[in-house]
């Protein structure tokens, strides 16, 4: 099998194709149907007609929290925290953007009237993230503080500040479990009418949870992709979903993953046998998929781990040809952009 390097997953993307705002309606975005040859340009609300009764759509029901927080050091220096996960009690793990890192024990004054005490690095003493203890006069927990004081953690390529519209649209309609700092963007295209049509057509639905971390936007820095270390994200495959997948396999239906986070969850469970935990699964061409037959996904950043994942599923040449088609046809890219439908290539 061919050996791939980072440069193989690069492509030129005109800046104006990076979507800065969502489509006026969720299901009115475009859908590139990569299951046909040549590919077919569709509207997303056509998806139910491309599926079969008995297929199982698996969604990620994570909820994006307002994880971006602003504050200042005792010296007056400004800083920004991006909460990656909430630990027990009032402790959190966060990225810290600051000109000069404060010493351990420093009490930071945060916008909204609470404090964050720096406890150390995470994990252990040499991790890239930081551990903080939040404290507010009202005794609010970290989730309540983020809801009251935080900002929507829009991706770095979206150039405007968060708004009320972002609070609504950078969130799926079925978000249920708080904990993500980035949306499972393929699911942003589903609205209640589309979900109802799926039900009418006999397409089954199930949920997993993977709390998307900021590491999803971290670039791969090594030309030899095997040297890249994936970030860790928490996942859960509930018993009802495990049963739904078993039933789908038994009846000969297809597992349709909505988003790469769902793929990573299902294949982490298959590989480890663990229905809950942290995953650092890195899916590259040559990977053997055990659960996913079809994938609904947005268009991804050049040279990203997500480009490698979709190439592993649908085939490298196929994916690069689809991306070239999308650029020619002026599809909108990344989190607020359009979507594509891919099928698993034969081994």
pLDDT score for 44: 98
Which one of 122, 149, 176 terminates a domain? 149
Q: How many domains does the chain have?
A: 2
Domain presence at residue 329? yes
Distance of CA 311 to the CA centre of its chain: 17
Cα–Cα distance for residue pair 61/178, rounded to 1 Å: 9
Q: Estimate the crossing angle of helix 316-328 against helix 305-314, to 10 degrees.
A: 110
Same domain, 244 and 292: yes
Summary count for the chain: helices (H), strands (E): 7, 17
pLDDT score for 216: 83
Same domain, 306 and 171: yes
Percentage, residues of the chain above pLDDT 90: 94
pLDDT tens figures, 99-155: 999 999 999 999 999 999 999 999 877 788 999 999 999 999 999 999 999 999 999
Nearest to 170 by CA among 335, 297, 301: 335
- The answer to whether residues 307 and 258 touch, using CB atoms and an 8 Å cutoff, is no
pLDDT score for 128: 86
Same domain, 259 and 242: yes
Same domain, 138 and 252: no
pLDDT score for 296: 98
Same domain, 186 and 329: yes
Same domain, 195 and 256: yes
The CATH number that applies at residue 136 is 2.40.10.240
pLDDT tens figures, 3-17: 999 999 999 999 999
List 96's β-bridge partners, or say none: 81
Same domain, 192 and 275: yes
Cα–Cα distance for residue pair 12/16, rounded to 1 Å: 12
List 204's β-bridge partners, or say none: 56
- The answer to whether residues 296 and 256 touch, using CB atoms and an 8 Å cutoff, is yes
Same domain, 332 and 246: yes
pLDDT score for 280: 95
Which residue positions in the chain have pLDDT lower than 70? none
Enumerate the H helices of the chain as residue ranges.
142-149, 164-169, 192-200, 239-251, 260-272, 305-314, 316-328
Which one of 100, 119, 149 terminates a domain? 149
Same domain, 80 and 56: no
Same domain, 141 and 82: yes
pLDDT score for 242: 98
- The answer to whether residues 187 and 60 touch, using CB atoms and an 8 Å cutoff, is yes
Structural domain including 277 reads 6-64+166-343
Domain presence at residue 324? yes
Same domain, 210 and 335: yes
Nearest to 68 by CA among 129, 149, 131: 149
Same domain, 31 and 125: no
- The answer to whether residues 251 and 56 touch, using CB atoms and an 8 Å cutoff, is no
Which one of 119, 149, 179 terminates a domain? 149
């Amino acid at each position: 099998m061919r050996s791939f390097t980072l440069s193989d997953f690069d492509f030129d993307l005109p800046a104006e194709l990076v979507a800065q705002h969502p489509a006026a309606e969720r299901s009115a975005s475009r859908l590139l149907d990569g299951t046909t040859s040549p590919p077919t340009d569709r509207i997303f609300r056509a998806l139910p007609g491309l599926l079969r009764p008995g297929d199982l759509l698996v969604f990620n029901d994570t909820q994006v929290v307002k994880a971006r927080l602003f504050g200042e050091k005792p010296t007056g220096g400004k800083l920004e925290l991006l909460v990656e996960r909430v630990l027990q009690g009032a402790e959190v793990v966060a990225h810290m953007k600051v000109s000069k890192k404060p010493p351990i024990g420093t009490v930071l004054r945060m916008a909204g009237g609470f404090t964050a005490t720096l406890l150390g690095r995470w994990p252990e003493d040499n991790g890239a993230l930081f551990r903080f203890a939040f404290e507010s006069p009202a005794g609010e927990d970290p989730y309540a503080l983020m809801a009251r004081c935080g900002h929507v953690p829009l991706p770095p390529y979206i150039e405007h500040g968060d708004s009320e519209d972002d609070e609504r649209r950078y969130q799926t309609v079925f978000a249920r479990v708080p904990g993500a700092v980035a949306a499972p963007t393929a699911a942003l295209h589903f609205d209640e009418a589309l979900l109802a049509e799926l039900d009418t057509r006999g397409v089954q639905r199930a949920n997993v949870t993977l709390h998307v971390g900021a590491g999803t936007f971290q670039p791969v820095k090594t030309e030899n992709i095997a040297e890249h270390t994936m970030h860790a994200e928490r996942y859960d495959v509930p018993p009802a979903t495990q049963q739904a997948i078993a039933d789908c396999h038994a009846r000969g239906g297809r597992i349709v993953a909505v988003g790469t986070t769902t793929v990573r969850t299902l294949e982490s469970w298959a590989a480890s046998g663990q229905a809950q935990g942290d995953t650092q699964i890195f899916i590259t061409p040559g990977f053997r998929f055990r659960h996913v037959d079809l994938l609904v996904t947005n268009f991804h950043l050049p040279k990203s781990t997500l480009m490698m994942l979709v190439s592993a599923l649908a085939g490298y040449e196929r994916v690069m040809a689809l991306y070239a088609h999308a650029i020619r046809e002026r599809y909108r890219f990344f989190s607020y952009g359009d979507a594509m439908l891919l099928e698993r290539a034969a081994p």
